[in-house]
Structure 1
Amino acid sequence: MNELKSSPHAKDFMTSHVEVVTPEMPLTQVVRFLLKHHVSNAPVVEMRNEKKYLVGFVSEKDCLSALSKEIYFGNPSPPQSAKTIMTSHPICIAPDTELFAIVSIFTSHHLRHLPVVQEGELLGIVSRCDILEAMEKYYSQLVHKSDHERELRDTSQIMNLRFTIDRS
């Protein structure tokens, strides 16, 4: 019997080219950046030795909240930047995180994107669309495999990964 290919990992379908912002970027530039690149969020990175190190994640929601507060209450001191509005220590995954563990994280935490990080360095990003495509491709392999027998998985591994947060 032919072995079914094991499920893919984040490194197999992540987007490696990621648009990023820096912590010092002013709020207005962050907003313009998101609009220009047609993205709903962006990793906040510090550059060290030509590598991008993840320090946070900024979203449209963060920008909307900061802008509305600034407009309603006046200019804050210090001025708002990516660093002051970002989510510090976002949930991240490693490049070798298995597909079903990623699905579990997405569905449990209602996320749209997950940074792929190794030792603090941003390697890529995985979106819900990436996951859906990977799941569909994997599912198609299962359905079209005539000699495939359904097997029970050890769900304890997936359940344990559901709450793993990489804070590097």
Structure 2
Amino acid sequence: MGIKSFMGKRAASKKSFQEPILVKDYMTSKLVTFREKDHIMDVMEKLVKNGISGGCVVNDKHELVGIISEGDCMKQVSDSRYYNMPMSDSFVENRMNRNVETIDGNMNVLDAAKIFIEKKFRRFPIVENGRLIGQISQRDVLRAALKLKGQNWQY
């Protein structure tokens, strides 16, 4: 005698098609940006005033050349105090990070979440045709996840 299943026939799962949720759909495009010749004190003022932890540094063509963060500014403040050096000659170009990693605006935002976890960054610039077009933060990824409400993590 064969084994009989009491589970009955299973209904085929219905997969609904959803558009992928892309980084460019959740990135911030109105950015506070900085220039290499900006003074560190001006950067600190803008960071505090706008409630942000860092920003992209661009040139005259709006091409990304670096990132400056609160941490970079804090290092300047600490070094100035420790070495008793005035901050009058402290500029973005001396403190910014020039080795910037970017994310593709057409990437699925949940794939971007994995990159945030792996890299431990707070933000990633989005560059298109050589120009800065936006930035995505960890908070932007959380907004996208809330939209999905945990129903379908594939999209």
* TM-score when normalising by structure 2: 0.81
Q: 1-side partners of 2:43 and 2:29: how far apart?
A: 21
| Superimposed CA distance per residue, residues 96-134 of structure 1 (whole angstroms, 9 cap, x where no aligned partner) | 122222111100111111111113311111111110110
Amino acid of the structure 2 residue aligned with 1:47: D
Structure whose alpha-carbon radius of gyration is higher: 2
In the other structure, the counterpart of 1:16 is: 29
- Displacement after TM superposition at 1:54 (Å): 0.8
Q: Any unmatched runs of 5+ in structure 1?
A: 143-149, 154-168
- Displacement after TM superposition at 1:140 (Å): 4.5
RMSD of aligned residue pairs (Cα, Å): 2.4
Q: Secondary structure at the match of 2:132?
A: strand
In the other structure, the counterpart of 1:34 is: 47
Query: How many matched pairs?
Result: 142
Q: Secondary structure at the match of 1:47?
A: coil
Is 1:92 equivalent to 2:89 in the alignment? no
Is 1:4 equivalent to 2:14 in the alignment? no
Q: 1-side partners of 2:25 and 2:87: how far apart?
A: 44
Q: Any unmatched runs of 5+ in structure 2?
A: 1-13
* TM-score when normalising by structure 1: 0.76
Amino acid of the structure 2 residue aligned with 1:45: V
- The structure with more helix, counted as a fraction of residues: 1
Q: 2-side partners of 1:47 and 1:101: how far apart?
A: 32
- Displacement after TM superposition at 1:39 (Å): 0.7
Question: After the TM superposition, which residues 124-139 of structure 1 pair with which residues of structure 2 at under 5 Å, given as runs?
Answer: 124-139=134-149
- Displacement after TM superposition at 1:75 (Å): 2.7
Q: Is the alpha carbon distance of 1:77 and 1:126 closer, same or farther for their aligned partners in structure 2, counting shifts above 3 Å?
A: closer
Q: 2-side partners of 1:76 and 1:55: how far apart?
A: 26
